[in-house]
C-alpha cells in the first residue's frame, strides 16, 4: 500500500476515533479498521484473486446439473482461493455459505442405502438422558448422536451405500486383483510428495481414518467404529473399551499414555505417538476442569464415597472427552484441511468453516447435527498407501517380514489367508492397554519418555511423504491392496464414473482422459476394456494427480480431492457434539446465576474454559490450527518457542524453509529451523537465602526479560539503530538509567496525582442500582488497571480518550490491554504456545506508543508542571550527554521504561486489595484507611507498606520467576549443583518478614511503590462500608496449577479465557 493511502486511511481512523463518544458503552474499539480494510483492498487490486484465465472454470459451472463439472478446470480451488483472499469481505462469507451448503448436500442425510439392514432404534431406556447427567455427552458407541434416530452412525452398524452400482460387470469379468496391483499400483521408485507434505500429516490421517472405519472381520458389511470423529481410536467404541483406558478415580483422567484401538499398533510409530499426545491432552483438560471447578460442584481431593466419586469421575471424563474431541476436530479443520488446501503453505489463516450457522435465501437453516453414516465408497477413498515415506515403508517391511519368518513365504507373495493367519498369530496385543508399546519404545513408570515421542514425531516432520498416483504403492503392501480390491468387489461397489456422477463431476470418456500417462492408461485399457468398467478403488488410486498450486496442497487424484471436502463437511457438520451441543455458557451469566440453581450446568457442555481451549488462534505463527499448541503443551521440553517443527508439523521442515525464504524472507527469519534440542532442566529454588543469592548475581543467573524487551522495542527504532552491533546493550543500559531517574524519585506530586486519578475513576465508574446510596465499582477493571494507564498517557502523551481529552483516540481499557500484552510477553511468558502472538502484539503496541510519544514531544505538548519539568530534565540530560541522538531514540527509551511493568503494578494492587477485602482482615483494612487519611505528609507510608508486603507474601501476584545459569555453579550450602543453561525456578518464600521483590524495576521500584500505593489503597478503603460485591463478581476468578514443579497462579477472564493477569473484582460501598 502506498505511503499516501496508508496515511490517509490512518487519518480517517483517527478522525473517527477522535469523534467517537467518550463512553463506548461496552462496544469494541474499531481503531485501525479503515487502514486494515484499505490495506486488504490494495492487496486485492495489486494481486487480484481472479483473472481472465479463470473464466473458463466459472463458465463450466453451468454444467453442474447436466453433464457434470470438469474438475480439470479447478473451479472449486479457484473459489476457495477467492474466499481466502477476500476473507474480510462480506462476499466471502456469502460464497462460503453456498459452498458449505453444496458440499453438505453432496451426501444424503440420513443415507438411503445400506449394505444390510440397519439396527432398530434404541428404546427410550437406552438413551443417555436416563443417566441423570444434566449435560450432553458422547456415548461409548456413538449412539444418540441424533436423538430422533438414536442408532444412526453407532458402532456395530452397517456401512452406507451412497452410490448404487448399475454398470459394473460381474466379478468373473474383472481382472485378477494381484495383476491389477502389479500393473497399475505397485511402486517402481519412490516419488516425493510435490507439495512438501510431511510424513506426520499422513500419521495424523491414520487417526482420522481409523476413527470412522473399522470393518468387522467376520461380517465386512458392519463398521465396528462409529461414524463420528469421536476419537474412538483413543477412547474405544464400546463400554468395555472405554473402561479399559479410564482410571475411574474421581479425576476423570485416562491411564497414562494409553489408547483403546490396537489397530494403531500396526501403523507407523508416528500415528501412535500422536495418539499418546491426545491421551495426555485429555488428562491435561481433566485436571484443568477440576482445578477451575467452574460449576462449583467438583471436589479436590475427590470424594471418599464411591458413588459420589464415580459421579464426579464420569462428569469430568465426559466433559474432557467433549473438549478433546473438539480439539481433534479443530486440528482437522485447521491443520489437516489447511494442509490439504495449501493454506498453511501460502501463509493464509483463512479456513473453511463447516460448523457455521447458515440460512438459505428462503430463510430456512442449512441443517446441523443430523447424524452421519460412513459409506463403503469413502472407505475405499481413504486407502492412501502410496504416500508412505521411505522410512515408513522400511518399517512396514520389517514388521511384515517378521510375520512370515519360517512360514515359507514373503509379504509380497503371501495370500490374504496366509496374511490373516500370520497377523492373528503374531500381532494380537496384550489385553492390558498399559502394556502396549510401539516403535521399539519402553515404558518408564508406566509412561513413554518424552524424548522418545518427540524423536518419532520430529523424524516424521523432517521426512517427506510419498506422492499420490499410479504405481506409487510399496510392493510390501500388495496383500493389503489385493484384499481391498476383493473387498470392494464383494461389496458390489460402484465404478469410478458412477462415483463421479454422484459428486456432480463429468464422467471420463476414455482411459486417457482419466490418466494421460500412456503406460498407465494403456495398461488400464487392456485390463478393463471399457472406461465404465474401471473399479472405484483402482480408479481412485491410479488417477492423474493434481499439481501443487493455489487451493491445492494435498495433490491426490482429482476425484479424491473433490470427495474429501464433501466428507469433511459431512463428518463435522453432521455431528451434534461439534455443532448444536458444542457449547459453553457466557461467564458473566454463569457467575450471576450459579448460586441460585444448577439447571444452567446443561448450557455449557464443554465448560467455558474448555470451549475456549479448543479454538485455534490465527495469530500464533502457524496460520490456524491447534496441533502447534498440542505439541507445546504435551512435549514442552522438546519444542522451543518459534520452532518450525511446532509451527509447521505437516510440512517437511527443509521444504518449508526453502519455500518461505523465497516467498517471505523476513518472516522466515522469525522461525528457528534447526531440529530442536531438549531444553535445559529446571531446578526449583525456594529458600530465602538461595533466592536472595540468585537474584543478586545477574551475571551467573540471567533473566530473559532484557532480550524480550529488546524484541519488543527493536521494530520501533530507526533502522540505523537496529543494525548497530552494540545497540541492544546500549539501549537496555539507557532504559535502566531512565527508569531509575523516573521511578526512584519520591515525588509528592506523583503521589497526589495517583490519588486524584483513583478518586476520579471511582466516581466516574461507580454504578448504583438501589435507592439506598449503595454503589458498586469494578475496582480492578475500571480503577486499578487504569491508574497507571492514565499516568503513563499523561507523561508520554499517549492519545488517551478521557474527560480531560475527549478527542483522544484510545479508550483506557484498550491501552491497558496493550500494556498487559507487553507485560505478559516480557515477564509472564510461561506458555510457549502464546509466545509468538504476545511478541507480535507487543511489538506492534510498542511501535504505536513510540510513534505517538515522538509526535507528542515534537509538538512540544504542554505537560503539567511536575511531568513537564521531569521530561525536560531527562531530555536535556540525555541529549546533552550524547546518550541519545534523536527524539525517536529517546521516546523508545521512555516507553521501554514506562510500559512493561505498568500491568504488573496493577496486579500488585489487585492482590493487596483482594487480600484486605476478606472480612477477617477488616481491622487491617480500617487501619490502612486511617493511616492514609492523615494529612501530615506521607510519614505513615512505611506502616502501610508493611501491610502491602504482608499481603504480597501471603498472596504474591507472581509466585515465581525463572533464571538461566550462565556457567556451572553450586547454589547455597545444600542445593544440588546447577549446570550451564539449566533454568532456575524461583518460588517466592512464604514468610512475611522475608519478602523478596524479584521484579524491582519500573513501576515495581520500592521507592515508587511506597510513594503511590498507599494513596491508592487509602482512596479505595476510605470508601464508606467498602466490601466485596455479592456472588462471584466479588471474587478474583483464579486457580493454581503446577508447572515445572512450581505453583502457577492463573485467572479466568470475563471472556472465559485463562490468563496471567486478573481483570475483574467488584466492590460494594456506600456514599
Q: Which residues make Cβ contacts (< 8 Å) with residue 530, sequence separation at least 6?
A: none
Give the C-alpha separation, 554 to 195, whole Å: 7
> CA end-to-end span of the chain, whole Å?
55
* Buried b / exposed e along 1024-1050 (16+ C-beta atoms within 10 A): eebbbbeebbbebbebeeeebebebbb
Closest by Cα among 563, 494, 521, 488 to 177: 488
Phi, psi of 447 (to 5 degrees): -115, 155
Give the C-alpha separation, 695 to 700, whole Å: 10
Helices assigned H by DSSP within 529-616: 536-542, 558-573, 587-593, 608-613
- DSSP letter at 364 equals P
- Please state whether beta strands 983-987 and 682-685 pair in parallel, antiparallel, or not at all (unpaired): parallel
Give the C-alpha separation, 610 to 1043, whole Å: 19
- What's the half-sphere exposure (Cβ side, CA atoms, 13 Å) at 145? 31
Q: Which residues pair with 977 in a beta bridge?
A: 970
Give the C-alpha separation, 24 to 1069, whole Å: 25
Cell output for 708: 524480550
Burial of 805 (0-12, 13-18, 19+ CB in 10 A): middle
Give the C-alpha separation, 552 to 547, whole Å: 7
Phi, psi of 398 (to 5 degrees): -65, -45
Give the C-alpha separation, 432 to 428, whole Å: 12
Give the C-alpha separation, 276 to 279, whole Å: 5
Give the C-alpha separation, 746 to 728, whole Å: 29
- What's the half-sphere exposure (Cβ side, CA atoms, 13 Å) at 369? 16
Give the C-alpha separation, 212 to 575, whole Å: 12
SS3 778: strand
Burial of 961 (0-12, 13-18, 19+ CB in 10 A): buried
* Buried b / exposed e along 2-34 (16+ C-beta atoms within 10 A): eeeeeeebeeebbeebeebeeeeeeeebebbeb
Q: Which residues make Cβ contacts (< 8 Å) with residue 119, sequence separation at least 6?
A: 151, 154, 156, 157
Give the C-alpha separation, 117 to 821, whole Å: 59
Q: Is 940 within any annotated ligand binding site? A: no
Left (φ > 0), alpha (ψ -120 to 50) or beta: where does 231 sit? left
Contact of 697 with 234, CB cutoff 8 Å: no
DSSP 703-732: -SHHHHHHHHHGGGS-HHHHH-TTHHHHHH
SS3 447: strand
Contact of 704 with 962, CB cutoff 8 Å: yes
Longest dimension (CA), the chain: 107
Contact of 502 with 552, CB cutoff 8 Å: no
Q: Which residues are annotated as a binding site?
A: 385
Q: Which residues are annotated as a binding site for heme b?
A: 385
Amino acid at each position: 500500500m502506498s505511503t499516501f493511502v496508508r496515511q490517509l486511511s490512518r487519518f480517517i481512523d483517527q478522525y473517527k476515533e477522535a469523534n467517537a463518544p467518550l463512553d463506548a458503552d461496552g462496544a469494541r474499539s474499531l481503531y485501525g479498521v479503515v487502514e486494515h480494510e484499505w490495506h486488504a483492498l490494495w492487496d486485492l487490486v495489486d494481486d487480484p484473486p481472479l483473472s481472465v484465465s479463470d473464466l473458463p472454470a466459472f463458465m463450466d459451472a453451468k454444467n453442474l446439473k447436466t453433464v457434470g463439472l470438469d474438475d480439470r478446470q479447478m473451479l472449486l480451488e479457484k473459489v476457495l482461493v477467492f474466499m481466502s483472499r477476500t476473507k474480510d469481505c462480506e462476499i466471502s462469507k456469502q460464497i462460503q455459505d453456498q459452498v458449505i451448503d453444496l458440499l453438505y448436500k453432496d451426501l444424503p442425510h440420513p443415507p438411503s442405502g445400506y449394505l444390510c439392514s440397519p439396527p432398530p432404534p434404541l428404546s427410550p431406556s437406552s438413551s443417555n438422558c436416563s443417566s441423570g447427567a444434566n449435560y450432553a455427552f458422547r456415548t461409548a458407541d456413538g449412539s444418540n448422536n441424533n436423538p430422533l434416530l438414536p442408532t444412526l452412525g453407532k458402532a456395530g452398524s452397517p456401512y452406507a451405500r451412497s452410490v448404487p452400482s448399475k454398470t459394473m460387470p460381474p466379478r468373473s469379468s474383472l481382472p485378477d486383483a494381484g495383476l491389477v496391483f502389479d500393473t497399475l499400483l505397485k511402486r517402481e521408485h519412490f516419488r516425493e510428495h510435490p507439495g512438501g507434505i510431511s510424513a506426520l500429516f499422513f500419521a495424523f490421517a491414520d487417526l482420522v481414518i481409523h476413527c470412522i472405519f473399522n470393518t468387522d472381520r467376520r461380517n465386512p458389511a458392519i463398521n465396528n467404529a462409529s461414524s463420528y470423529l469421536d476419537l474412538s481410536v483413543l477412547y474405544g467404541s464400546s463400554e468395555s473399551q472405554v473402561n479399559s483406558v479410564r482410571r475411574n478415580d474421581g479425576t476423570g483422567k485416562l491411564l497414562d499414555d494409553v489408547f483403546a484401538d490396537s489397530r494403531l499398533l500396526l501403523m507407523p510409530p508416528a500415528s501412535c505417538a500422536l495418539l499418546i499426545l491426545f491421551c495426555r491432552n485429555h488428562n491435561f483438560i481433566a485436571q484443568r476442569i477440576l482445578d477451575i471447578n467452574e460449576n462449583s460442584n467438583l471436589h479436590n481431593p475427590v470424594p471418599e464415597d464411591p458413588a459420589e466419586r464415580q459421579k464426579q469421575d464420569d462428569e469430568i471424563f465426559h466433559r474432557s472427552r467433549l473438549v478433546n474431541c473438539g480439539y481433534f476436530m479443530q486440528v482437522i479443520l485447521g491443520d489437516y484441511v489447511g494442509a490439504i488446501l495449501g493454506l498453511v503453505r501460502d501463509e493464509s489463516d483463512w479456513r473453511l468453516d463447516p460448523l457455521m450457522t447458515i440460512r438459505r435465501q428462503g430463510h430456512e437453516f442449512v441443517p446441523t447435527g443430523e447424524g452421519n453414516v460412513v459409506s463403503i465408497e469413502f472407505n475405499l477413498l481413504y486407502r492412501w498407501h502410496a504416500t508412505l515415506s521411505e522410512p515408513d515403508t522400511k518399517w512396514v517391511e520389517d514388521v511384515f517380514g517378521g510375520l512370515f519368518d519360517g512360514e515359507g513365504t514373503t509379504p509380497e507373495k503371501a495370500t490374504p489367508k496366509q496374511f490373516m493367519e500370520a497377523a492373528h498369530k503374531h500381532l494380537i496385543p496384550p489385553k492390558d492397554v498399559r502394556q502396549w508399546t510401539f516403535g521399539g519404545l519402553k515404558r518408564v513408570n508406566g509412561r513413554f519418555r518424552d524424548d522418545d515421542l518427540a524423536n518419532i514425531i520430529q523424524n516424521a516432520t523432517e521426512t517427506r511423504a510419498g506422492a499420490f498416483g499410479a504405481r506409487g504403492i510399496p510392493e510390501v503392501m500388495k496383500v493389503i491392496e489385493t484384499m481391498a480390491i476383493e473387498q470392494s468387489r464383494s461389496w458390489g461397489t460402484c465404478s469410478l464414473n458412477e462415483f463421479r456422477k454422484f459428486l456432480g463431476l463429468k464422467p471420463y470418456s476414455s482411459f486417457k482422459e482419466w490418466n494421460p500417462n500412456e503406460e498407465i492408461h494403456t495398461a488400464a485399457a487392456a485390463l478393463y476394456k471399457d472406461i465404465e468398467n474401471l473399479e472405484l478403488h483402482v480408479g481412485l488410486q491410479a488417477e492423474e494427480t493434481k499439481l501443487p498450486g493455489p487451493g491445492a496442497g494435498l495433490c491426490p487424484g482429482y476425484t479424491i480431492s473433490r470427495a474429501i471436502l464433501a466428507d469433511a463437511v459431512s463428518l463435522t457438520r453432521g455431528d451434534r457434539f461439534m455443532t448444536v451441543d458444542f457449547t459453553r455458557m457466557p461467564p458473566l451469566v454463569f457467575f450471576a446465576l450459579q448460586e441460585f440453581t444448577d439447571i444452567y450446568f446443561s448450557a455449557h457442555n464443554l465448560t467455558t474454559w474448555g470451549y475456549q481451549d479448543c479454538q485455534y488462534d490465527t495469530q500464533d505463527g502457524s496460520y490456524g490450527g491447534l496441533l502447534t499448541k498440542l505439541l507445546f503443551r504435551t512435549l514442552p521440553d522438546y519444542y522451543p518457542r518459534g520452532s518450525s517443527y511446532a509451527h509447521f508439523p505437516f510440512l517437511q521442515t527443509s521444504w518449508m524453509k526453502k519455500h518461505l525464504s523465497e516467498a517471505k524472507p523476513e518472516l522466515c527469519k522469525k522461525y528457528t529451523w534447526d531440529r530442536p534440542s531438549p531444553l535445559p532442566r529446571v531446578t526449583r529454588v525456594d529458600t530465602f537465602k538461595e533466592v536472595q543469592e540468585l537474584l543478586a548475581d545477574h551475571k551467573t543467573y540471567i533473566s530473559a526479560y532484557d532480550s524480550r524487551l529488546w524484541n519488543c522495542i527493536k521494530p520501533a527504532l530507526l533502522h540505523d539503530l537496529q543494525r548497530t552491533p552494540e545497540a541492544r546493550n546500549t539501549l537496555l543500559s539507557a532504559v535502566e538509567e531512565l527508569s531509575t531517574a523516573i521511578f526512584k524519585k519520591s515525588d509528592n506530586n506523583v503521589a497526589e496525582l495517583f490519588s486524584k486519578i483513583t478518586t476520579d475513576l471511582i466516581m466516574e465508574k461507580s454504578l448504583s442500582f438501589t435507592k439506598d446510596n449503595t454503589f458498586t465499582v469494578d475496582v480492578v477493571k475500571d480503577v486499578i488497571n487504569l491508574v497507571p494507564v492514565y499516568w503513563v498517557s499523561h507523561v508520554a502523551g499517549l492519545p488517551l480518550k478521557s474527560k480531560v481529552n475527549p478527542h483522544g483516540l484510545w479508550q483506557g481499557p484498550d491501552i491497558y490491554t496493550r500494556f498487559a500484552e507487553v507485560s505478559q510477553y516480557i515477564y509472564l511468558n510461561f506458555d510457549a504456545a502464546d509466545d509468538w502472538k504476545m511478541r507480535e502484539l507487543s511489538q506492534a503496541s510498542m511501535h504505536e506508543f513510540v510513534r505517538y510519544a515522538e509526535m507528542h514531544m515534537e509538538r512540544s505538548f504542554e505537560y503539567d508542571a511536575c511531568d513537564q519539568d521531569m521530561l525536560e530534565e531527562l531530555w536535556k540530560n540525555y541529549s546533552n550527554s550524547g546518550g541519545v541522538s534523536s527524539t525517536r531514540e529517546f521516546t523508545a527509551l521512555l516507553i521501554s521504561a514506562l510500559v512493561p511493568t505498568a500491568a504488573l503494578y496493577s496486579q500488585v494492587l489487585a492482590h493487596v486489595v483482594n487480600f484486605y477485602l476478606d472480612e477477617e482482615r477488616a481491622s487491617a483494612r480500617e487501619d490502612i484507611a486511617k493511616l492514609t487519611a492523615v494529612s501530615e505528609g506521607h510519614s505513615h507510608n512505611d506502616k502501610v507498606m508493611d501491610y502491602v508486603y504482608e499481603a504480597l507474601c501471603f498472596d504474591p501476584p507472581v509466585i515465581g520467576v525463572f533464571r538461566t545459569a550462565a556457567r556451572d555453579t553450586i547454589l547455597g550450602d545444600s542445593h544440588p549443583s546447577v549446570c550451564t543453561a539449566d533454568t532456575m525456578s524461583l518460588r517466592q518464600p512464604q514468610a512475611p518478614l522475608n519478602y523478596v521483590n524479584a521484579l524491582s524495576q519500573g513501576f515495581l521500584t520500592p521507592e515508587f511503590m511506597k510513594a503511590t500505593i498507599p494513596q491508592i489503597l487509602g482512596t479505595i478503603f476510605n470508601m464508606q462500608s467498602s466490601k466485596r460485591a455479592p456472588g462471584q463478581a466479588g471474587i478474583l476468578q483464579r486457580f493454581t496449577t503446577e508447572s515445572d514443579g512450581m505453583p502457577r497462579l492463573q485467572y479466568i477472564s470475563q471472556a472465559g479465557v485463562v490468563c496471567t493477569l486478573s481483570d475483574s473484582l467488584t466492590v460494594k460501598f456506600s456514599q
